[in-house]
Amino acid sequence: MSLSEPVERLRRLGPTPDVGAIVLMEQAIDLYAAGYARLDERGIALDILLRDLARLRTVEPDRDAFIAQVENYIDSLHRQLTRQAA
């Protein structure tokens, strides 16, 4: 099973990403999620990203702090989807 494109991008940023790296990751996640028109599909896609980030965290624990920032962004997108679906 391969990692999703945004997670592969995070992996390429290295263990100590630049200051603007979170912005690059947010853009990659937004682009990835925009590929799913239906809200339920978008939620599943975000769940897949979270799963892949958890897998990456176990393999590369030195990225833990950056992965936590990315997970927080994905969580905020999930909350937006919940409000839109209501």
- Model pLDDT for residues 41-76, shown as the tens digit of each residue: 999 999 999 999 999 999 888 888 899 999 999 999
- Model pLDDT for residues 4-40, shown as the tens digit of each residue: 788 888 888 877 678 789 999 999 999 999 999 999 9
Total structural domains within the chain: 1
Q: Which domain holds residue 56?
A: 20-85
pLDDT computed for residue 10 by the predictor: 86
pLDDT computed for residue 2 by the predictor: 54
User: Cα separation of 81 and 27, whole Å?
Assistant: 17
Asked if residue 10 is part of any domain, the answer here is no
User: Cα separation of 60 and 63, whole Å?
Assistant: 6
Asked if residue 52 is part of any domain, the answer here is yes
Asked if residue 62 is part of any domain, the answer here is yes
Asked if residue 75 is part of any domain, the answer here is yes
Asked if residue 76 is part of any domain, the answer here is yes
Asked if residue 4 is part of any domain, the answer here is no
pTM: 0.87
Asked if residue 67 is part of any domain, the answer here is yes
Upper half-sphere CA count for residue 41 (Cβ side, 13 Å):
7
pLDDT computed for residue 19 by the predictor: 77
